[in-house]
Amino acid sequence: MAVDITDNLLVWKVIDAVSRTGSLTGAAIELGLELPHVSRLVSQLESAMGVSMLERTSKPVRLSEFADKQLPLIRRMIRISEQIEREAECCRHANPSVRIRFGLATVLLARHVLEMLRSYEAGHPGTRVEVKPDNSLDSLFKGKADIVYLYGHADNPLLYELPCVRCANCLVATPAYLKRRGTPLRVEDLARHTLLLSQRSDVPATSRLICGSEEFSLDSLEHWVFDPRSGRRELIGRAGGPGPEKRSSDEYVSYAAVMNDQGIAVDIPLSFLEPRLKAGLLVPVLPGWHRPV
C-alpha cells in the first residue's frame, strides 16, 4: 500500500526548515538532504493536499498563506514526534536489548573491575553486563557465561582471546603469621613455610616463582638466574630440607587461609589484596617475587 506523503514527518520538517532558512537549499542543508529530494517532497505534498505550500516567486522563498497558518500545528507535530522518540530511547535504556553475561571470580570483584564494566554500559546504551561468579572455561562451554575473565591463556582453538590487563600478584602474609614463623629474607627461606597456592580446573597451581631474571622452583627448591650473555640459566642456590608445605585451592580458600594466619599466599590478585595491604592486615613477602604471569 502506498504511503500518503502527508504521513511523512520529514516533509513537515522541510516546511518548518524553509520557514526559518528562507530557501529550499537552506532546508536541505539543515536536514542533511539532497536539494532534488527536498524539492520533490514539497511538490508531492502540494499535489496530495491540493494547495501550494510555498511562494516560489518571492526572494527569499516564503511559505504560502495556508502553510504559514498551519506552522504552529506543524511544529507541534514535530515536537510530539521528537518527544515520543526520546521516551522510546529512555525505554531502551531501562530495558536493555543486549545482555552480556560476564564470568568473574568473586575474588576479582575489585572496585576498578566493576567501574570498568559500568563504564562499558554507559558507552553502549541498551547493553547490560551481568556479573556471574564463575570465570571457569566450563561456564563458557555450558552456556552459563558469554565472556570470562581468565588468568593467563586459555590455549583452546575454539575460543577467542583478548588480552585486557596484566594481572599482578605478590606474596603476602599476616603480621601474626610472620611473627610466629619468621619473615623470609631470601627466596630459599620459603622452604620452611606454608605456601597457599591458587588452583582451579583451568589454572594449575604454580610450581615456580620469578623475580626479574631469577627463578625459584617450588619442587626442586633450586634458585636459577638467566645469563643474557650466554643465553643459559645458572644455578645460584638450593634450599635444604624437605621443602615448603604447599596447600593448593581456589582463591576463596587461599584468601580465608592467609587472613587466618595459616601461611603465605602466593598468587591472590593484587587488585583484591590492595585494601588489606593499605590497612596493614597483610604485608608483602619477598617483594619482587611473584607467580609467572
Please write the tens of the pLDDT for every residue from 140-191: 888 888 888 776 666 777 788 877 766 678 999 999 999 999 999 999 999 9
For the cut 80, the answer to whether the pLDDT of residue 78 exceeds it is yes
Per-residue pLDDT tens digits for 25-42 = 888 888 888 989 999 999
Domain ranges within the chain, ordered by starting residue: 5-92, 98-148, 171-285
Let me know if the fold of 5-92 is the same as that of 171-285.
no
Q: How confident is the model at residue 239 (pLDDT cuts 50, 70, 90)?
A: very high
Fold of 171-285: D-Maltodextrin-Binding Protein; domain 2 (3.40.190)
Q: Which range has the top average pLDDT, 2-11, 55-64, 143-152? A: 55-64
Q: At the top level of CATH, which class does the domain 5-92 belong to? A: mainly alpha
Predicted TM-score of the model (pTM): 0.55
Question: Of residues 88 and 278, which shows the higher confidence score?
Answer: 278
User: Could you please report the per-residue DSSP string of the chain?
Assistant: -PPPGGG-HHHHHHHHHHHHHSSHHHHHHHHT--HHHHHHHHHHHHHHHTS--EETTSSS-EE-HHHHHHHHHHHHHHHHHHHHHHHHHHHHHHS-SEEEEEE--GGG--HHHHHHHHHHHHHSTTEEEEEES--SHHHHHTTS-SEE--SS----TTS---------B-EEE-HHHHHHH---SSGGGGGGSEEEEE--SSSPPPSEEEETTEEEETTT-EEEEEETTTTEEEEEEE--SS--EEEEE-HHHHHHHHHTT--EE--SBHHHHHHHHHTTSSEEESTT-B---
